[in-house]
A and B are shown apart, each in its own frame.
Chain A
Amino acid sequence: MTPSKKITFSRRSFLKSSALASGGMIIGFNLFNACKPEAKLPVDLSQLNYSDFNAFIKISEEGKVTIFSPNPEIGQGVKTSMPMIIAEELEVAWDDVYVVQAPLDTKNYTRQVAGGSQSIRHGWEALRQTGATAKQMLVNAAAARWGIETSECKVKEGVITNTKDETLGYGDVVLEAALLEVPEEVTLKDPKDFTIIGQGKSNVDIDKIITGKPLYGLDYKEEGMLYAAVLRPPAFGQVLESFDDSGARSLPGVVDVITIGEKLRAFKDSGKTNWSMQMSTTDKVVVIGKTTWDAMKGKKAIKAIWKKDSELESTENHDKELLDLLDSKDLTTKRSDGDVKKAFAEADTVLERIYEAPFLPHNCLEPMNFFANVTPEKVHLVGPVQTPASAQKVVSELLERDIEDVHVEMTRMGGGFGRRLYGDFVYEAAEISNVIQKPIKMVSSREDDMTTGVYRPASKYKIAASIKDGKLTGYHLKEACINVNMYGLIPNFFPAGAVKNYQVDTANYKSNITTGAWRAPYTNFLASAEQSFFDELAEVLNIDRVKLHMDLLENVKNNPEPNIEYSPERLQGVLKLAVEKSNWGKAADGVYQGLSVYYCHNTHVAEVADVILENGVPNVKKVTCAVDCGIVINPLGAMNQIRGGVLDGIGHAMYSDFGFNNGVPQSSNFNTYQLIRMGQTPKVDVHFVESNLDPTGLGEPTLPPVGAAVANAIYKATGKRLTKQPYMKNMNVEEKVLG
């Protein structure tokens, strides 16, 4: 990136400003679409036109700055980091900035989605321009008042100073600034002058979180609101045959018992589909209660009879189907370089391994829930959803209402991990309220949440390497997944471009079990598979593990390949940093180290796991994590994301297991499903590659590599190669007993 740069953009671009009726000014901006030329900002904040603008800065006459954060907050920190970028270029003190979640519902598509670690990457330039533009307008207004050139003005922390040391606060000139044209050219700061970006800033909701203030969907209440518990089929492949609700109706807290499903079936029967509708279309029994407990208790009292509608699938069958696919003719080639067939035919040795991973539920600690109030006038929806625009559109079609009548508000989310990209819980809530025409909150119990999920699909990989004269000559990866396969760019990840003969093939098995995105989709296990394979490959080639990677990356630098999705220099950079900081190769006696290096979600990461054996049981003591994510916006938030990603990755690779028996999920709560707990966590030691490159996201990229780092370390400790997750179950060791 060049230091302080001038940015020119068309007046009819993504920014509009307006004076506020109450005094002050607002600047509205659309992050990813140029707004329509005719779009106008209202002077009343309640009349904001969210279809054209998806984020706002309000500057009051008192000089207070409110930033309406455009992206859903699921714990990844964008509600803090995105406003930090605006505040930096606006030149205000962070303490004077107030951040609120914009109650967005958009008509036009914008990237108002939390997912794929992309919020910061996409927002970076636009957020900076927005802050810089607002600052420029305020400075222009001050210069006009003083009758001087803008170049004679300086700004620091919201105060404009002229050469005579006279000062004007932003609040003093905000009324004049609001009437000015939006400048066509603004200058962005030199990153070395950043005073907010790169400083650790606490989560903006911290005070509310630590004092228990209402923030989450489950906390949202309205006058007269009732609670709804939904009885869904216990097994995938079942539909409702009949039910007896007399027991439920006899309970004092039960207000009503209804069924839903009709609207959803009508939607689907009309030929419409929507990606976010990962849910059964059967009739479901809904108990409406005065409190959450009343609804849950009522649901338990329903006697329902379910009948088989499609196959009742089991993990045993899935395993067989996926293994068969890896050797079948049904594979589709996603990328092919050179001649893999020839390389394998001419090989001295072939190394081939199969890697396996189970389904996983997301298990957001706040179970799925949503508020809906459907009235003849409007449809009001409030709750934790990562995709509000899509929810609005689908609900309008589902209930056959004008899209303008459907209002979606987002709350803070008690975790996302991909689960809240889907809208099943929104559609259920809307249909329930539509039936009873009262405000309701649909609340899933933990059991509902875990057994009617949108799971990470089970997957298996077969990886093969051909070796000739002691050198790697070919690499062939096959993927077999439930329902869907890796998305388009993944076949271009390392080692694409590093091995002359390279091929990626995929196939899937269509299941009636609902599946979808789960933190770092596909790569969350692919990285474990590939980076475990490379560890074994280095051993077979009798080459140092680090050298093998460095050499392969050197190949890419020497023979640049445009169609790859990583930077060999940056992968080498993180690898070097991790090796240096972890004391790689120089660990103390009894400490076994494993390495993994990976690129995904635009961020380069290398990790070293230190494992010890306690009574023969592996215990991960430390993970050294080197990250290249460009400029680090908020080091505190970044550390949280990185450490969380590493520990989440270890937990799911080591302990979490999920499968099906005749369509019924094997676990339904945390007594049988294991999530990582404090006693199982290592210290995560984080190191950033210093960089002036544009920032990339951190919500996902540190999770995928860590499984292999741990598996490779356990191999060194035990001599056992781990290829099937969760590792602890499949290596047949008892979990460490604490205390």
Chain B
Amino acid sequence: MPTFNLKINNETHTVEADMDTPLLWVLRDKINLVGTKYGCGIGQCGACNIHVDGNVMRSCLLQVSQAEGMSITTIEGLSEHGDHPVQQAWKEIDVPQCGYCQAGQIMTASAFLDKNPKPTESQIRNAMHGNICRCASYNSIEQAVKVASEKMS
């Protein structure tokens, strides 16, 4: 089995895996970073969203062989103490219900706000449209993105 060197949350991990293994399962099963969630496996739900070189990506669609040489950030590496403005906002608004999709929501929101720190309501709704929340906590997510944007500006 081939070996890959991955830069994840500013640490280098060497893993053995089949070329076609989605990064999602390497993160979860080989590196023990289980904050990145499996929801659909086909890039529809966003539960597995991570940052790759600062851009939000579906880790279920990224093969481990493509991830070498990229700087990968997962929910565990978003902030050292869980206090990224988006995480703070999520806590203030008490967004989660079951909570399963929220890591993916937070990763989408944080990458989006990095590029667009003062979004309009419709920009927020478009940016978050790719993440499914089965508990439908959408009102709270929308509100939390606004609060985070205020914190970041």
Contacts and interface: CB of A to CB of B under 8 A. Distances in A.
Interface stretch (A323-331, A360-368, A502-510, A581-589): A360-368
A678 B94 contact: no
B139 to A, nearest CB: 5
Given A212-B103, A670-B40, A252 B82 contact: no
Interface string A203-221: 1011101111111101101
A641 B97 contact: yes
A643 B136 contact: yes
24 contacts: A75-B99, A209-B96, A209-B99, A209-B102, A253-B18, A291-B21, A291-B29, A292-B28, A363-B134, A364-B98, A365-B133, A412-B99, A414-B37, A643-B136, A647-B139, A670-B40, A670-B42, A670-B132, A676-B138, A678-B128, A678-B138, A678-B141, A679-B125, A738-B129
Contacts of B1: 252
Contacts of B62: none
A696 interface: no
A292 B29 contact: yes
Given A214-B34, A446-B41, A640-B94, A366 B139 contact: no
Given A211-B76, A292-B25, A739 B126 contact: yes
B33 interface: yes
A567 interface: no
B11 to A, nearest CB: 15
A339 to B, nearest CB: 44
Contacts of B76: 211-212
A252 B18 contact: yes
A74 interface: yes
A144 B153 CA distance: 58
Contact of A651 (B33, B34, B78, B136): B136
Interface string A628-667: 0000000011001101111110010000000000000000
A416 B32 CA distance: 25
Interface bracket on A: 35 or more
A648 B138 CA distance: 10
B90 interface: yes
B82 A211 contact: yes
A414 B97 CA distance: 9
Given A292-B29, A293-B22, A210 B97 contact: no
A431 to B, nearest CB: 23
Contacts of A297: 18
B99 A679 contact: no
A416 B135 CA distance: 9
Interface in A587-645: 636-637, 640-641, 643-645
A205 B138 contact: no
A415 interface: yes
Contacts of A207: 82, 91
Nearest to A206: B91
Contact of B135 (A213, A367, A415): A415
B117 interface: no
A378 to B, nearest CB: 25
A413 interface: yes
B126 A679 contact: yes
A534 to B, nearest CB: 26
Contact of A211 (B39, B75, B128): B75
A647 B136 CA distance: 6
A202 interface: yes
Given A367-B38, A739-B126, A203 B134 contact: no
B36 interface: yes
A670 B22 CA distance: 18
B29 A213 contact: no
B140 interface: yes
B139 A215 contact: no
Contacts of A211: 35, 75-76, 78, 82, 87
Nearest to B87: A210
Contacts of B106: 210
B98 A415 contact: yes
A677 B35 CA distance: 22
B8 interface: no
Contacts of A679: 125-126, 129
Nearest to A225: B29
Nearest to A366: B100
A644 B101 CA distance: 14
A210 B90 contact: yes
Contact of B45 (A74, A212, A365): A365
A637 B137 CA distance: 11
B34 A219 contact: yes
B7 interface: no
A66 interface: no
Given A640-B94, A643-B137, A205 B74 contact: no
Nearest to B97: A75
Given A203-B94, A212-B75, A365-B47, A675 B99 contact: no
Contact of A366 (B29, B33, B37, B140): B37
Given A212-B34, A212-B103, A669 B40 contact: yes
A671 interface: yes
B25 A738 contact: no
A6 to B, nearest CB: 35
A420 B126 CA distance: 32
A176 B32 CA distance: 45
Contacts of B97: 75-77, 640-641, 644
Given A293-B21, A446-B41, A671-B42, A212 B35 contact: yes
A307 interface: no
A738 B126 contact: yes
A294 to B, nearest CB: 8
B44 interface: yes
Contact of A212 (B22, B38, B74, B131): B74
Given A75-B97, A365-B47, A678-B128, A292 B38 contact: yes
Given A219-B34, A365-B98, A671 B29 contact: no
Q: 5 closest A-B pairs (Cβ-Cβ)?
A: A212-B35, A75-B98, A414-B100, A212-B75, A647-B136
A74 B99 CA distance: 9
A684 interface: yes
A683 interface: yes
Contacts of A414: 37, 98-101
Interface string A396-431: 000000000000000011111100000000000000
